[in-house]
């Protein structure tokens, strides 16, 4: 599904405004012709999309080239639904004229005119809002009917692939983009080191790997050939769910981060907003978030929504409301806690964030950065959540003792899960949990 320039539907609404206003001012025979023409335009919008109506074509060929690029693209489905609402009003108007009920016809035209004015002048598309409201209602009804297994409620049946309540998804984030190889020689930065780490961590109980890669000088990179080789190597030598970071480093440009999906991973990270990252800024403006999400839907890559703050939780609800569910139908997110500038790595913060999750969320995990690793892990287990661990997030196994390998951190997560009567999730179960299929 390709997004459309949001100014196109407003241009179409402006033309509709002129046609319907004229229909109210001219004699009835002429009004019938104008309303019939508008009904045909609405019909084209419903069947082909508003961007393919005659006015949409005029906008694309003659108007848009004279404008600055849009801040972002929008989902074409709500405007298409709005065209259907307009068609319904014009059909009622034509039926009124045919029955001699001119007052009914004019009322229907007048209501359609009001909608066109609101869209053309104020950017408020009533038909789009109806579409989104219906989508929210439908998804919430479906969610109540087939509540996710991550909620561990045995009283609720589900028609989705079942994942046992005791299964714990352990994700390993072995490298990251912040730590220098010179400062931490045991950090896996070459492809050989990364694959060896992945195999060790899978054997220890991890089911998903969150991947950042480095270049020959051990510096963070988003080189597409390296990303593609990494995905291929991990798939050939492990059964882990391969998740590529689209965050890269805080210095990577947005267009390079979008191209990460060209490497065709199973999953990708998708951070739901900008956050201060120590002295730096991790930039995730809304148009980028939206474009990355729509691209993941097109490429059938399952996103993991990374939430650094409570505002990101609200943004996730907004994204799902406007653009629907991810590929696979599951919504998995990860709370990244303890980053200087983000939400604190405390039980109180986690409880508040989990309580604010949209109802579409089917599973979640939590990550504690640095010294918050253990408090966040324990709090997450107490809330039936899952865990992400790894040397991207912490470099000590206990006070004053450096981590020797990522395997240590996975083994500790598995041991903590055992105390909570949770066992490591298999890779097959992880794929079911995330909506990846078999």
User: How confident is the model at residue 248, as a pLDDT?
Assistant: 84
Strands annotated E in 165-290 = 167-168, 170-172, 208-211, 213-214, 220-221, 241-244, 267-271, 275-277, 280-282
User: How confident is the model at residue 438, as a pLDDT?
Assistant: 52
User: How confident is the model at residue 149, as a pLDDT?
Assistant: 43
Question: Which fold, 166-434?
Answer: TIM Barrel (3.20.20)
User: How confident is the model at residue 207, as a pLDDT?
Assistant: 97
Q: Which helix (H) or strand (E) holds 432?
A: helix 427-434
Tell me how far apart the alpha carbons of residues 406 and 196 are, in angstroms, rounded to a whole number.
11
Token reading at 136: 């929210």
Domain extents in the chain:
7-142, 166-434
**Long-range Cβ contacts of 323-326 (<8 Å, 24+ apart):** 323/75, 323/290, 323/293, 323/294, 323/297, 324/75, 324/135, 324/297, 325/139, 325/360, 326/293, 326/296, 326/297, 326/302, 326/435
User: How confident is the model at residue 136, as a pLDDT?
Assistant: 67
Q: Which are the contacts of 299, defined by CB distance < 8 A and separation ≥ 6? A: 261, 264, 327
Token reading at 147: 């509540």
Q: pTM for the full model?
A: 0.71
Tell me how far apart the alpha carbons of residues 194 and 377 are, in angstroms, rounded to a whole number.
24
Token reading at 221: 């990179």
Q: What is the CA radius of gyration of the chain?
A: 26
By 3-state DSSP, what share of the chain in percent is helix, strand and coil, each rounded to 5? 55, 15, 35
Low-confidence ranges of the chain (pLDDT < 50): 146-159
pLDDT in tens, 195-214: 999 999 999 999 999 999 99
Token reading at 387: 């865990």
- Mean pLDDT of the chain, nearest integer: 91
């Amino acid at each position: 599904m390709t997004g459309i320039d949001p100014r196109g539907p407003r241009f179409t609404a402006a033309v509709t405004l002129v046609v319907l206003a004229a229909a109210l001012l001219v004699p009835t025979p002429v009004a019938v012709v104008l309303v019939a023409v508008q009904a045909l335009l609405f019909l084209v919008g419903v069947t082909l999309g508003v961007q393919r109506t005659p006015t949409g074509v005029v906008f694309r060929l003659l108007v848009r080239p004279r404008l600055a690029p849009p801040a972002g693209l929008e989902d074409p489905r709500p405007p298409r639904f709005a065209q259907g609402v307009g068609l319904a009003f014009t059909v009622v108007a034509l039926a009124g004229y045919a029955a001699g009920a001119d007052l009914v016809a004019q009322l229907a035209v007048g209501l359609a005119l009001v909608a066109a004015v609101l869209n053309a002048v104020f950017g408020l598309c009533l038909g789009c809002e109806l579409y989104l409201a219906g989508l929210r209602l439908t998804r919430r009804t479906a969610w109540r009917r087939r509540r996710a297994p991550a909620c561990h409620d045995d009283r609720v049946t589900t028609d989705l692939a079942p994942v046992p309540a005791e299964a714990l998804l352990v994700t390993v984030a072995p490298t990251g983009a912040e730590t220098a190889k010179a400062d931490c020689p045991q950090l896996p930065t070459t492809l050989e080191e990364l694959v060896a780490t992945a195999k060790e961590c899978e054997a220890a109980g991890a089911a998903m790997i969150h991947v950042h890669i480095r270049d020959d000088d051990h510096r963070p990179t988003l080189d597409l050939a390296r990303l593609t080789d990494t995905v291929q190597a991990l798939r050939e030598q492990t059964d882990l769910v391969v998740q590529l970071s689209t965050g890269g480093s805080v210095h990577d440009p947005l267009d390079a981060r979008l191209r990460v999906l060209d490497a065709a991973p199973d999953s990708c990270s998708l951070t739901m907003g900008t956050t201060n990252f120590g002295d730096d800024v991790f930039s995730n403006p809304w148009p980028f978030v939206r474009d990355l999400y729509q691209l993941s839907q097109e490429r059938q890559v399952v996103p993991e929504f990374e939430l650094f703050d409570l505002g990101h939780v609200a943004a996730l609800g907004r994204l799902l409301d406007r653009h629907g569910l991810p590929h696979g139908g599951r919504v998995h997110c990860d709370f990244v806690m303890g980053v200087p500038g983000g939400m604190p790595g405390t039980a109180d913060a986690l409880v508040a964030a989990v309580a604010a999750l949209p109802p579409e969320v089917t599973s979640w995990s939590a990550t504690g950065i640095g010294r918050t690793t253990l408090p966040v892990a324990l709090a997450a287990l107490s809330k039936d959540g899952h865990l992400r661990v790894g040397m991207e997030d912490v470099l000590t196994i206990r006070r004053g003792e450096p981590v020797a390998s990522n395997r240590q951190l996975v083994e500790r997560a598995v041991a903590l899960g055992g105390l909570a009567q949770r066992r490591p999730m298999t890779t097959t179960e992880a794929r079911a949990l995330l909506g990846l299929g078999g």
